Structure 1
Amino acid sequence: MIIDSHQHFWKYEPVKHSWIDDNMVVIRKDFMPSDLQSVYQENGIDGCVAVQADQTLEETDFLLQLSNENSFIKGVVGWVDLRANNLEATLEKYSEVDKLKGFRHVVQGEPDHNFLLRPNFLRGIEVLENNGYTYDILIFPHQLGATLDFVKRFPNMNFVIDHIAKPYIKDGFYDGWAVLMKEIAKYENVYCKMSGIVTEADYNTWTPEQIQPYMELVLEVFGPNRVMFGSDWPVCLVAGNYTKVKELTTNFIAALSADEQQQIMGINAMKFYKL
């Protein structure tokens, strides 16, 4: 099975989706399961994990509703306020919802470099771990130092780094990112999504050759059993199309064994999220 480990849905609202800037006008519209289903049929994708784009419980409920109506949405990564005193009570409401697999916070948007290490946030992760959920780590490279300290504290929690931690490919930034990714990858409970890479390069002029060193580093340090393919649809559309994004990964891993390719293209996501 080919599983897209990372994509989004939304009903576009200019204020709520203010992060969609003037360079991304192509995605200033609604993106719903009917749009994605046809894309998946063209590209041979069997299912996906829908990930939050908005930091509200309404977003979590919206994605769960879509997953109930569309069997190809195999799992949901929602949002909940991990710093809230009533976190346990909120999670209790979702305890019977099988498709809710984990949670994410848009840490990349937090001005505090050490946001992940704040006591109330750490307590929230503890609660997630006790309830068997996963956590998606969405950060920029300047937050990798805090991320290293963060993952050290939870050796039994299932973490996945989204979008290979968004290295500044367009600016040729590599070494500082690579050093910390190597350290983080030493923790075997941390996975990495090969997703959202084309949008860190120049939207119009990126080439697979330019991106390959970043993918090589990720594959080398995490290994084929902890890397997952993800499209980041529809965000990826600002820098190409679904087929190009999928081929970036499938061409890159073509020299691996059939088993290793299957792990990256689906098995790892199924295992990590218990799909």
Structure 2
Amino acid sequence: MIDTHVHFWNFDPVRDSWITADMQTIRNDFNPKNLLRIYNELQITGCIAVQASQTEEENHFLLSLAEQNDIIKGIVGWIDLRSPKLEERLNYWKSFNLIKGWRHVLQAENSDFILSRELINGIKKLKDFNYTYDLLVYHNQLPELIQMVDQIPDQPFVLDHCGKPDVKKQDLKTWTQNIQTLAQNPLVHCKISGLFAEADWKNWKEEELFNCFDVIFEHFGPERVMYGSDWPVMLISRPYADWFNLVQKYTSRFSAAENDLIFDKNARRFYLNS
């Protein structure tokens, strides 16, 4: 099994200012060794390490961790997609085979950024290098995201954290409509990940999360959904095993072959070309 969404960092209160005081649990260092015991217990064999800092130094940091920890099967790094030197940088990073794709924290940007010609042209270059692109937005940014993706029809994308629906308020109508539209693009996949952070951290109900899962699986199907944890961010709510067991409980309605897709094969095809 592959966990398609984990982060590693040496905590820096200035650089990591997004980790606020109410997230005390994750105001610490996190490295691959912290995951080994729980991965062994749950029979998870590897992970995709996703950027948490928006610098190219982050790529070197994740690569150095991967050299020492073979549970990291691939890396989603950061690169300035709007840079006039983008092609030069892509050529440089292409020699590091563990880097499989890129991500920018679009949830922190406005619509002008998401729909900028520079960003769209930058993402268009990724296909030539066989790179994927992770999409990180809040539910209210999905209309702009759909417009952006529509302009790059041949690029493999994956939506992080189900597009961050409003799990807490269960205001899911508009999010559902946008997910339906986005999923019509066969090159867009979706990660079942990160929903603990969008719920009431300590008092969420299983039904609230399953309502979101229903929408994702209805429109993406098991063929385009990948399991991810969003560790260690999800620790603000519950231990790792609680999320894993919750997803497995939901997917027990699917066949063994479909579960194999969700927890392993989809990730291997999308990120690892295997």
Please indicate the TM-score interval, normalised by the length of the shorter structure. over 0.9
**Partner of 1:258 in structure 2?**
256
Establish whether residue 57 from structure 1 lines up as the match of residue 56 from structure 2: yes
Q: Is the 8 A contact 1:113 1:142 kept in 2?
A: no
After superposition, where does 1:1-275 map in structure 2 within 5 Å? Answer: 2-110=1-109, 112-274=110-272
Cα distance, 1:115 vs. partner? 2.2
Cα distance, 1:95 vs. partner? 1.6
Other structure's SS at 1:74 match: strand
Separation of aligned partners in 1, 2:261 and 2:22: 34
The one-letter code matched in structure 1 to 2:98 is K
Deviations 1:147-171 (A, max 9, x none): 1111112221110000001111112
Cα distance, 1:42 vs. partner? 2.2
Cα distance, 1:41 vs. partner? 1.3
Deviates further, 235-244 or 91-100 = 91-100
CA RMSD of aligned residues (A): 0.9
Separation of aligned partners in 2, 1:235 and 1:39: 16
Other structure's SS at 2:125 match: helix
The one-letter code matched in structure 2 to 1:54 is S
Cα distance, 1:22 vs. partner? 1.8
Cα distance, 1:74 vs. partner? 0.2
TM-score for both structures, normalised by structure 2: 0.98
Query: Structure 1 regions of 5+ residues with no counterpart?
Result: none
Separation of aligned partners in 1, 2:172 and 2:49: 29
Q: Is the 8 A contact 2:120 2:152 kept in 1?
A: no
Cα distance, 1:129 vs. partner? 1.6
Q: Is the 8 A contact 2:168 2:208 kept in 1?
A: no
Q: Number of paired residues? A: 273
Separation of aligned partners in 2, 1:210 and 1:77: 29
Cα distance, 1:39 vs. partner? 2.1
Cα distance, 1:113 vs. partner? 2.3
Deviations 1:108-137 (A, max 9, x none): 011x12422100001110111221100000
The one-letter code matched in structure 2 to 1:182 is Q
Separation of aligned partners in 1, 2:236 and 2:177: 29
Separation of aligned partners in 2, 1:249 and 1:259: 16
Separation of aligned partners in 2, 1:113 and 1:43: 40
The one-letter code matched in structure 1 to 2:248 is T
Other structure's SS at 2:74 match: strand
Cα distance, 1:236 vs. partner? 0.6
Cα distance, 1:232 vs. partner? 0.3
Deviations 1:17-63 (A, max 9, x none): 11011221000000011111222112211000000000000001111
Other structure's SS at 1:5 match: strand
Deviations 1:183-234 (A, max 9, x none): 0000000000000011100000012112111001000100001000000000
Deviations 1:241-274 (A, max 9, x none): 1100001111000011100011001110110002
Separation of aligned partners in 2, 1:51 and 1:181: 23
Other structure's SS at 2:222 match: coil
Instruction: Report % sequence identity.
Output: 41
Separation of aligned partners in 1, 2:128 and 2:117: 17
Q: Is the 8 A contact 1:55 1:105 kept in 2?
A: yes
Query: Structure 2 regions of 5+ residues with no counterpart?
Result: none
The one-letter code matched in structure 2 to 1:51 is V
